[in-house]
Every structure is written in C-alpha cells, then in structure tokens.
Amino acid sequence: MTDQATVAVVGLGQMGAPMARRLVGAGRTVLGVDTDPAVVAAAAADCVKPAASVAEAARSSDTMILMLPHSGIVDAVAAEIAAVTGEGRCRRIVDMSSSEPSRTRQLAARLVRSGVELVDAPVSGGVGAAVAGTLTVMVGGSAEQFAVVERLLDPVGSSIVHVGAVGSGHALKALNNLMSACSMVITAEAMTVAARFGIDPETALAVVNSASGRSGSTEAKFPRFVLPRRFDSGFTAALMDKDVGIATRLAADVGVRTTLADAVGARWHELVGQLPAGADHTEIIRPLEAEYGVEIRPGTQAPSSSPSD
C-alpha cells in the first residue's frame, strides 16, 4: 500500500469518525461507511467521502478499517468485503474493533482464501485521544503487515505496538479493559465507602493519586468524568461488559483460572444491569450512589446517620 492509496473506514461512530478525519488531515483519500446517514454527512463535511455501501467501498479502496461494536458485525462486514471481486478491490482489512481473539483468527483464515488479509489493531485512549491522534494501538499480524499498518495508522496513534500474531491485538485489548474495569469498580466502591464515612471524594482521590492506590480510574476517569458529573468518556458500560467477558473467556480458553477477573466480570454485569441503555462506563458509580445515598462529587458530606447504621 502506498501513502496515496484510498482507505475506507467502516463505522463512523465516536471513535471511527475522528480517526477518519485524522487520516484525511494526513493527506489520505478516505471513504466513509456507516448505517447512520447523519454521521456519514457529518464526516463528509470534513472531506471523508461517503460510500453507499461496504461493497462500494471495497471496490475502491486498498485497505478497509473496521471500527464496529463486536465480532458478529465484523464477520458480516468482512464477508461483504471478501465477496467483492475485480481489479483494485480491497486486499487488506484492519479490524480496530474490540473483537474476540479466537474469532479474529478464524476470520483471518477464511479471508486469506479470498485474497484478503486481516490485521487486528484495536485501540485504547478514548474519544479524546482519537481526536488528538494519540491513541495506543495494539497490532496483531506478521512483521511485514505491522510495517504497513504502522505507516497507515501513524496519524491516529502516538503508540503503535506490534504485540504478536493475528488476534493478539484483540486479546491484549480485552485484557487491558479487564484491568480498567477492575480499577473502575474498586474505585467506585472505595469512593462510596469514603463518602459514607464523611471523606470528601475529591480529597480522597487527591491523596490516593499521590499514594500506592492510584490507577487510570483515580487519575483520569473519576476527576474528568465522575466528580464533575459529565459521564461522557465516549465508551459505554455495555461495551466494557462485553470486553470483560471476552477477557474471561480468553482466560478459560488458555486454561488460566482467574478468580478475581471472574468476580469483576460478575460485579460489572450486575451494575450494568441497573443502568439505562447507552450509559457511559463511568456511570458504573450510579447504582452504588443510589443504594447508599451518596453522590461522588466535590464536597460530599457524610449522611446524617452513623456509617455503622
């Protein structure tokens, strides 16, 4: 693939759209595909060229980037791409979704028979990093594939790392999100305890962030999204629930017993069930707040009753 080759982005949601815009800004011709005409129109205003369908984009692009909700949709879109024949059709799929590693490897084996190669390259960093072009990208594929994908994705990522063979990127992404979910849940519970005892959550976080309990949740997510009551990180609680499930199933597949991970998965799933559809993952604190009569914001006061009541 040359730097002038046309690239298609399938999935112009909160992550896909800013990534497509970054590629346009780097001088690439970018086609955009999405089931929502409104997001296609919004991307078109930033010079992302609309494609009427996946098949149309596959006939006109060397590489197609997928940013989709789950493996089922990825499989369906990949089948549409593989069905396109003729000169100039897509020869490479870069799946940047949070897909299931085992299904990614199975899909790669099917696609190669159609003359299409698959590289997985999921990301971490959220919407802000997608806009800024500072995502962490975890690439699964051969060394030769990584060299091509690294050049392609340079405008969207500040850390683009080859983590192993195809499927490895999706595996590491799921494990990363498992660890993130764990820190989010334990921080939510700890801040609820602190508030019930009468400690201002802002003070509690400031202390923890200079001590050994700090994490991405205490340093970034709670200060940015929970304390100011924004809850707009751009990543839903349901998608985190899905990724945690991928990680725990991966552990079972490779024969590793993960007692804590399983507990985190069960707790996350329980709390997600108490949130409205589409809730941001930082809203995982809300069911705890409702149950214990506190709100995790600066200046939270202890309840009138004793903490032991």
Average pLDDT score over the chain:
95
Reported confidence tier of residue 139, pLDDT bands at 50, 70, 90: very high
In a domain, 246, yes or no: yes
Q: Which of residues 165, 198, 223 is at a domain's end?
A: 165
Whether the per-residue pLDDT at 146 is higher than 80: the answer is: yes
**Shared-domain flag, residues 175 and 135:** no
**Shared-domain flag, residues 122 and 196:** no
**Shared-domain flag, residues 139 and 243:** no
Please tell me which residue, 2 or 164, carries the higher pLDDT value: 164
Q: Which position has the token pair 């997985």? A: 120
In a domain, 307, yes or no: no
Reported confidence tier of residue 143, pLDDT bands at 50, 70, 90: very high
In a domain, 299, yes or no: no
- Comparing CA positions, the residue from 13, 6, 122 lying closest to residue 61 is 6
Rg of the chain over CA atoms, in angstroms? 21
In a domain, 1, yes or no: no
Number of structural domains the chain divides into: 2
pLDDT in tens, 22-37: 999 999 999 999 999 9
Three-state DSSP class for residue 85: coil
Whether the per-residue pLDDT at 307 is higher than 80: the answer is: no
pLDDT in tens, 211-250: 999 999 999 999 999 999 999 999 999 999 999 999 999 9
CATH number, residue 209: 1.10.1040.10
**Shared-domain flag, residues 161 and 16:** yes
pLDDT in tens, 252-295: 999 999 999 999 999 999 999 999 999 999 999 999 999 999 99
pLDDT in tens, 36-74: 999 999 999 999 999 999 999 999 999 999 999 999 999
Q: Which residues have C-beta within 8 Å of that of residue 207, sequence separation ≥ 6? A: none
Please say whether the beta carbons of 249 and 71 come within 8 A.
no
**Shared-domain flag, residues 69 and 135:** yes
In a domain, 305, yes or no: no
Q: Which residues have C-beta within 8 Å of that of residue 262, sequence separation ≥ 6? A: 248
Give the residue numbers spanning the domain of 58: 7-165
Active site residues: 173
How far is it, in rounded angstroms, from Cα 208 to Cα 206? 6
Q: What pLDDT is attached to residue 86?
A: 85
